[in-house]
C-alpha cells in the first residue's frame, strides 16, 4: 500500500524497486478501454433514444401527411358540395321562374275558363229551356197522336161498316134481277161516301205516320257505346296549331294525324262498320280551343261518322 492507495499493478513483488514502463502503459490502456466502453455504451444508449425519437418523428410526419391528405380530400369534397349546392340553387331558381310563368298562364287560363263556364252556363240555360219546350211539344204531340189514333180507329170502324153495307148491297143486287133507280142512286151515294171515307182515312194515316215519326224521334233511345265499334279522337290547339290524335278500338296508343288523314280514316271506318261506329271525342281542359272551334269540330265529326247522328 503506497500513500493510502492500493497497488493494482501486476508483478508488484518482483519489480517493486524498478520504474517499469510497461505496467503503467497497460494500466493506461485498460483505463482507456474502459472509458471507450463506457462512452460506447453511452453513445449506444443515446443513439437508441435518437432512433426512438426519429421513429416517433417519422410516425408524426406520416400522421401529419395523412391528416393533410384527409384535409385536402375534405376540402375537395366541400368544394364539390358547394358547387353542387350552387348548381341546385340555379336549378331551383329556374324552376321558380318556370312555375311563376306557369302560374301566370294558369291564371290567364282560369280567367278564360271562367268566361267559358259562364258561356256554357248560358248555353245550358238555353238548352234547359229548349228541353222544356221539347217536352211540352212531346206531350202535346202525344195527345195529338192519341187523338189521331182514336179518329183512325173510328174511321176504320166506319169504313168496315160501310164495306159490310156495300157488300150486302152488292149481294142484294147480285141476287135480284131488277134494280130500281133508287137502289142505284143509293149505291152510288154509298160508293161516293166510301171513296170520301177512304181519302179521309189515307189523310189521317199520313198524319198519323208523321206524328209517329216525330214521336219516335223525341223518344228515341239514348246514345250508347255498348256493342259498338268505338274510335277515340282527341282534339286541341298547341302554339296556334291544331293537334289531332286518333285511337281505334284495340290500339293502346294514339296516332297523330292531319285533318285530311282523319277524315280519310274515319270514312274508311264508317264504310266498314256502318251504323255500329261510335265516335268518342275528347277535348282536354287545357285544349286552347274556343267554344265555337270545339263545338264545330264535335258537330262535324258526329254528323258525318257517328251512328247516332246519321239520318
Let me know if 306 is exposed, middle or buried by CB neighbors in 10 A (0-12, 13-18, 19+): buried
Residue 199 banded pLDDT, cuts 50, 70, 90: low
Which residues have CB under 8 Å from 11's CB, separation 6+? 23
Average pLDDT over residues 160-177: 70
What pLDDT score does 138 carry? 73
What pLDDT score does 17 carry? 47
Domain boundaries, the chain: 128-218, 229-309
Average pLDDT over residues 208-237: 73
Let me know if 266 is exposed, middle or buried by CB neighbors in 10 A (0-12, 13-18, 19+): buried
Q: Is the pLDDT confidence value at 185 over 80?
A: no
What pLDDT score does 222 carry? 74
Average pLDDT over residues 182-211: 59
Q: Are strands 229-238 and 241-248 parallel, antiparallel or unpaired?
A: antiparallel
Quick: pLDDT tens for 10-30: 545 444 445 555 567 788 888
Residue 143 banded pLDDT, cuts 50, 70, 90: confident
Residue 1 banded pLDDT, cuts 50, 70, 90: very low
Average pLDDT over residues 49-64: 88
Quick: pLDDT tens for 287-307: 899 989 999 999 999 999 998
Q: What is the 3-state secondary structure (H, E, C) of the chain?
A: CECCECCCCCCCCCCCCCCCHHHHHHHHHHHHHHHHHHHHHHHHHHHHHHHHHHHHHHHHHHHHHHHHHHHHHHHHHHHHHHHHHHHHHHHHHHHHHHHHHHHHHHHHHHHHHHHHHHHHHHHHHHHHHHHHHHHHHHHHHHHHHHHHHHHHHHHHHHHHHHHHHHHHHHHHHHHCCCCCHHHHHHHHHHHHHHHHHHHHHHHHHHHHHHHHHHHHHHCCCCCCCCCCEEEEEEEEEECCEEEEEEEECCCCCCEECCHHHHHHHHHHHHHHHHHHEEEEEECCCCCCCCHHHHHHHHHHHHHHHCHHHCC
Of 102 and 238, which is predicted with more confidence?
238
CA 161 to chain centre: 72
Average pLDDT over residues 47-71: 87
pTM: 0.33
Amino acid at each position: 500500500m503506497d500513500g493510502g492507495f492500493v497497488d493494482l499493478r501486476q508483478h508488484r513483488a518482483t519489480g517493486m524497486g524498478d520504474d517499469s514502463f510497461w505496467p503503467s502503459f497497460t494500466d493506461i490502456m485498460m483505463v482507456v478501454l474502459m472509458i471507450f466502453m463506457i462512452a460506447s455504451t453511452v453513445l449506444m444508449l443515446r443513439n437508441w433514444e435518437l432512433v426512438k425519437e426519429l421513429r416517433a418523428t417519422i410516425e408524426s410526419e406520416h400522421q401529419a401527411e395523412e391528416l393533410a391528405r384527409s384535409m385536402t380530400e375534405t376540402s375537395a369534397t366541400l368544394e364539390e358540395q358547394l358547387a353542387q349546392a350552387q348548381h341546385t340553387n340555379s336549378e331551383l331558381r329556374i324552376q321558380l321562374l318556370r312555375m311563376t310563368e306557369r302560374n301566370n298562364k294558369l291564371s290567364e287560363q282560369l280567367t278564360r275558363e271562367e268566361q267559358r263556364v259562364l258561356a256554357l252556363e248560358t248555353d245550358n240555360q238555353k238548352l234547359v229551356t229548349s228541353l222544356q219546350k221539347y217536352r211540352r211539344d212531346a206531350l202535346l204531340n202525344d195527345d195529338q197522336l192519341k187523338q189521331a189514333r182514336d179518329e183512325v180507329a173510328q174511321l176504320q170502324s166506319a169504313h168496315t161498316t160501310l164495306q159490310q153495307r156495300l157488300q150486302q148491297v152488292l149481294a142484294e143486287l147480285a141476287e135480284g134481277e131488277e134494280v130500281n133507280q133508287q137502289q142505284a142512286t143509293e149505291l152510288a151515294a154509298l160508293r161516293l161516301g166510301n171513296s170520301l171515307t177512304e181519302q179521309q182515312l189515307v189523310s189521317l194515316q199520313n198524319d198519323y205516320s208523321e206524328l209517329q215519326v216525330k214521336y219516335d224521334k223525341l223518344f228515341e233511345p239514348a246514345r250508347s257505346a255498348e256493342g259498338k265499334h268505338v274510335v277515340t279522337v282527341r282534339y286541341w290547339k298547341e302554339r296556334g296549331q291544331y293537334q289531332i290524335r286518333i285511337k281505334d278500338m284495340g290500339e293502346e296508343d294514339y296516332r297523330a294525324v292531319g285533318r285530311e288523314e282523319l277524315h280519310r280514316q274515319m270514312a274508311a271506318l264508317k264504310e266498314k262498320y256502318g251504323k255500329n261506329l261510335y265516335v268518342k271525342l275528347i277535348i282536354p281542359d287545357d285544349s286552347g280551343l274556343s267554344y265555337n272551334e270545339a263545338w264545330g269540330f264535335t258537330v262535324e265529326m258526329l254528323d258525318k261518322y257517328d251512328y247516332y247522328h246519321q239520318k
